[in-house]
Chain A
């Protein structure tokens, strides 16, 4: 092929040899002067344009009614980028594409493009401009497959054990004999249509500690509160669940029917990484020192997972569970046992959402029962915060931690704070509120927290003015799509302002309005989709966009942290565009498009025009 057309770039690399030959045979080359329109909105484009050299900007067709006619440029395209595919498929262009500098493009005629779309389904998917699908294709096509697939194993991929099922009326002695026979260390006891779990430990406890006779019905010692997981779910989630619930087996369900049991050892045999080893060390820590050692192993684990290309969501889930365990273990060690039922420790902000990966700061607070008398409370809490800092959770710059008495409140005061913040439009109050509505209880008496939360959600019902104010922050920062043009001189992008915050905050507002109790942004999106507040495809696009932002940011954070002597990243939210490859830039651009659309949606919904 004598053309300088690079077939290695996605989506062209998806084509097979014959299709690539067809593509090569039909390419033309066009030359465009600076300022010349390559595609004009409303007209039929010639085909798909792939830039050989130069720069092209995409802008909205100027509305006739609009004053000033100032065109808004969305995106710049550069070398090897392609554009116009969607317009070509659709028949008419909706945006203007203008050469920013002299540009030479390969032109793939619409007819050939359509032929290729008809013959290659993956290639066709790529032109649907659907971020979720695109990421999927990239993931399938990209490297690092082995590890990712390995970590993405489904429940059914692991050994799902055939459970030993006994009927009601079986005695403890018979049951134990059966277990010995089947070399099983747990069984399921059936009473009517329900199953209860009995483990070896349960039997031991029943006979030795509670001194029950050997002919006791097995039903009496079974636990009917089963922790279940769907058979299609990820094995990783089973591990997260076991870590969270401190159990060693989960029951696998297919809809309403039981498939079997997955045991911790089986899951572990799949995950050779030391994630669970750390989990076990956390569990077994009897002193603060032991706990600290365990906590410090987490950063290494994160790096291992990230470099192995594990999907960011699973990493986050796992870490959120781990961090939660660390904090609640520390709570157990520091807070006197007689006080624990009267207080509730909550984590907020990114930790409350379970989206913290590198430990960036600690946002936590304590809620206590009205009229609680606890003389040394503040000193104990100070000690708690200090220890967390020594574990590697940096102090919160806004001083939102339990060592600050402002964040230690009785239930009544806490609800009062929430409603005060909701009634003020002042920035600080809005920020506090945004942090507080992501709160999640991690230790102590959860009921205290739930009372306050439920009261607050009722308080907000139908308060349109509040939501309108609250949502405004999400659209405040401009989404920086035009950055791409100036890769050379201005290759930095604040991904938090431009991408992460608008999604997180917008979703938070929607979740608050629909009284969704989940705090994780991905779960909030899923619930919003289930409640039909959001369309399924928008939901998955938003999730993918957010995951991409977090992943890109994380990779650069790790790199920068390693370069710094103190191991801390000075600019945690910057994305250096030059570090990204062509594909990542493509995806980033699409993801920012998604954010833009979402902000538009928020503006309409909460009347944020102007």
Chain B
């Protein structure tokens, strides 16, 4: 059954307004954003299982790395050779991992009703939603901010015609942001946070071609 996301959200908000997670559905008034990233076993939402989740808050132009979320989960059955090559998480690296159920609660508590920032954020949100729904009956109601859109919106005025290169490493390079630790959830979350702050508050990067 395919219901457009906005309609479903509306429905879920109505259902959960009085529930234990009511706060999540309040409209957000503050100035904070949460940068979030998941490492998964697959890039296909249907098959993907979560391995680790990293998140940091961004307050103004500061990335609050001292208050962060760095969760490792129990290794799922589908942990396979292909994805291990990218995120370098083996089953034995995840033996201390926690149950998905607890992890999701921690994520909800950390994120609250703040907007969620990410690189291809819809993928992360949809994977999280996939596991949230059966458990709590709703998906993440938060506003999602897509880093590559923020980047594109700023760059396109300088770049009439042609496609903008939106690869992660390219964006980091153009913005002259050090990539802290590629392909760990927290490392990517921090890098994305820095790119966001840089785009939001810094000058438009030069020599984008």
- List A residues at the B interface (Cβ < 8 Å): 2-4, 25-34, 52-53, 102, 104, 107, 109
Contact = CB atoms under 8 A, between A and B. Distances in A.
Contacts of B190: 2-3, 29
11 contacts: A2-B54, A2-B190, A27-B65, A29-B62, A29-B190, A30-B61, A30-B63, A31-B61, A31-B194, A34-B203, A102-B198
B178 interface: yes
Interface in B150-184: 176-178, 180-181, 184
Contacts of B66: 25-28, 109
Contact of B194 (A25, A29, A34): A29
A29 to B, nearest CB: 4
B76 interface: no
A54 to B, nearest CB: 9
A258 to B, nearest CB: 61
Nearest to A102: B202
A28 B178 contact: no
Given A2-B190, A3-B190, A104-B178, A29 B63 contact: yes
Contact of A104 (B177, B181, B184): B177
Contacts of B186: 2
A53 B190 CA distance: 15
Interface residues of B, number: 24
Given A2-B187, A2-B190, A26-B66, A31 B201 contact: yes
B177 to A, nearest CB: 7
A102 B202 CA distance: 8
A31 B197 contact: yes
B178 to A, nearest CB: 6
A107 B62 contact: yes
A29 B70 CA distance: 16
A33 B178 CA distance: 16
Contact of A31 (B63, B181, B187, B203): B63
A29 B176 contact: no
Given A2-B190, A102-B198, A33 B70 contact: no
Q: Return the 3 tightest CB-CB contacts between A and B, nearest first.
A: A29-B63, A2-B187, A2-B186
A32 to B, nearest CB: 7
Nearest to B195: A31
B136 interface: no
B108 interface: no
A102 B194 CA distance: 12
B64 interface: yes
Given A34-B203, A52-B178, A3 B61 contact: no
Contacts of B176: 53, 102
Contacts of B198: 31, 102
B178 A4 contact: yes
Interface in B56-79: 61-66, 70
Interface in B187-209: 187, 190, 193-194, 197-198, 201-203
Contact of B62 (A3, A28, A34, A102): A28
A28 B202 contact: no
Interface string B104-125: 0000000000000000000000
B158 to A, nearest CB: 18
Nearest to B185: A2
B65 A29 contact: yes
B194 A28 contact: no
Contacts of B194: 29, 31, 104
Contacts of A3: 65, 180, 190
A28 B65 contact: yes
- Considering residues B62, B70, B184, which has the most beta carbons from chain A within 10 angstroms of its beta carbon? B62
A30 B181 contact: no
Contacts of A26: 66
Contacts of B184: 2
